[in-house]
Structure 1
Amino acid sequence: MKSITKIAICICLTSNLFPPLMASEYHFGGFLKANARYVDGNIAFQDSWTGGGNVSNSAKRTQFSAAESRFNVKITHAEVSGFAEIDFAGSAQGNAAFSNSYSPRLRHAYINYQQFTAGQTWSTMVNTSTFAETADLGGPLVGQAMVRQTLVRYSTENWQFALENPYTYGTKAESEQVKQQWVDTSNDYVPDAVVRFNQQGDWGNVSVSSLLRYLDPEETAQLAAGVSVAAKIYTLGKDDLRLQLHHGNLGRYVGTDAARDMINGKVETTTSAMFAYRHFWSEHMRSSLFYGRTITEEEQNDRFHTGVNLFTNLTPALAVGVEVGRYQIADKINPYTGVSAPQGTSNYAQLSLQLHI
């Protein structure tokens, strides 16, 4: 009898400490995307222009791919929600000789609770509403903020404050006799800090972000800072103008692979910009004209990406688009080697078919 009483007491206490779980809601999304991409020029073929690239012999290449297809799930449970997303871009698992298989790549995995966000998602520097609609994945990456990483963020109606994963991307100071080496990231111990202000209305939205970093790769402490402005502004009818302007020690936060955080032990300074104008020809047909560019001071990089496209919806869920554009590397003389950087240009055409889930 005593043992039964003890069990009853335990069950009662447990039910008080851990109330019954409420039902969770699951929402699945993403899209299937098929690309046909043709590139002609002396910048080596890329699935999308990332802001980096190698100048080589002129070549022509066509590639079909479905690796940009994307799947996500959102989970909502009372005040808590979570989001996870994968795609297959950038995978090196398979090849065209057999299987054409691709490994899943984690894009997002984060938790929202009240005003806090924790996990991997877009950096607070990134205003996704200002991305151009393009067939090339990401659009003019060379001129825009495009970073996903793990962070902790507090948000109010207009302000966001975040601590984000620190990582120093670049080369350390070496003597002339020693080839430049990549920075040792084992001494990245102070999180990057981002503060952002947002304002929106019927006219569109604008965000202003500031980045503060403490770079100490070789125990030579250096502060780095930068500012970013991004806006989406509605113009005539359904048309809109999308803008981004960036300046300062932004490094890997802007231009993807166009700029480093440090060059030869010195903090890099970057100036970047992108714009895109989207015009609706009809209810379902639209075009975007876009341009992005990054210029750096230390490494003397100068790279841009421009293009124009036409999209139409065959059904509410199915869109087809064609795009033509140019990617160019016009880097100057490297001040540390005294050697003129290779110059390159590639033109491309891309056809995309995208089915939203």
Structure 2
Amino acid sequence: MKNETKIEQDLIITKDDVPYRIIAIKNNKFEVVNIYTGEIKLLLTSDLETEYNRSKKAIEAAKRKFQQKNDFFEPTAHWVASFHKENEALSEISIQTAGAIMTLMLYLNIHGDGILMINGEPVTKQDIDDILGVDDKTSKSYLDEAIEYKILSWTRQKIEVPITFGKDKGKRKKISANVYTINPEYICMGTFPNTKTPFTRVFKTKAKKHIEFLSIEARGFLYKLLPKIHFQSHYITNNPNLDLRKDKNYTYFKNIEQKTLFANECLNIYDLTQIAGKSKAVVDRYYLEFEAARIMLKDGMGRKSKFFVNPGLLTRNNFNCEFAVSLEYIFDQTEPSYSEVRKQVVESKKKKSPIVKKKSSTKKKV
């Protein structure tokens, strides 16, 4: 094998019953991604040689078999881990800044070391303005608050950007710019910090599509709710880490069938107003945005309403079962009402909707 060989085909192999996706072969070692956690590591080729040298047909068969068992979670999909740090940063930051964080976390890359990127290039201040759909002053206030609470940081670096007009169009040039990095103690993608803190994984591609037309406040409210998602039921609860199974010999879904579950402390609409720090009318508006975008639904009416999230977008740790699959199916029954979401955001006159990132130019705010 060569010192470094890039793997074009999407190869999924296992070691100790853990599935890995091979990225490359470096110095007789496999660089792999743990499909369950997103962690990147090196494995000795001697451990995986047999798996790697199987015929293409056998590899594809193994891959199909694994994906059939785990199709709901799309094993090759990229996701971001948002850690549940119960501290002042999550409760004290403004809902607008939380919305900016919820949006920007989707611009992390596996090999990016926490740097926010677009198409493999660090985002500039102008990029962030475009991503958030706000002006320079507004986005700066969000960034300043995120930096104050140590969720975000920046360093001044020389980066290359494409020249998009003039006689040098197509070439690249170096500019001095702020490079923005997310603190891995809060959010990360790729190599995990040494922590046992529970986390919610957010699927990048799906999340971008579903939150695209949400107001910045609704995004921030969603970010503040991430630690409250119960790992089995996907409801918004006060006890998100409690195993609800009375009979631990069976799955959560089987316990549902047998009616052997502990009570789940689900949060109602008034509990949600406390988390958001907003009135019921405002939180109702956030919910309507979530519902239209197929992010959240509610069960029941009035004070007895319970809220659950789409596990196809947001899910806790490695949890996967028949219940999660059936729940995701409910969300898939109706196409997302993006036009209705857009209408709500425009009528609210709070913030304009995010716009599609424009092509880079040589004139950029840094």
TM-score by length of 2: 0.26
Higher relative contact order (CA closer than 8 Å, sequence separation 6+): 2
**Bigger Rg, which one:** 1
TM-score normalised by L of structure 1: 0.26
> Where is the strand percentage greater, Structure 1 or Structure 2?
1
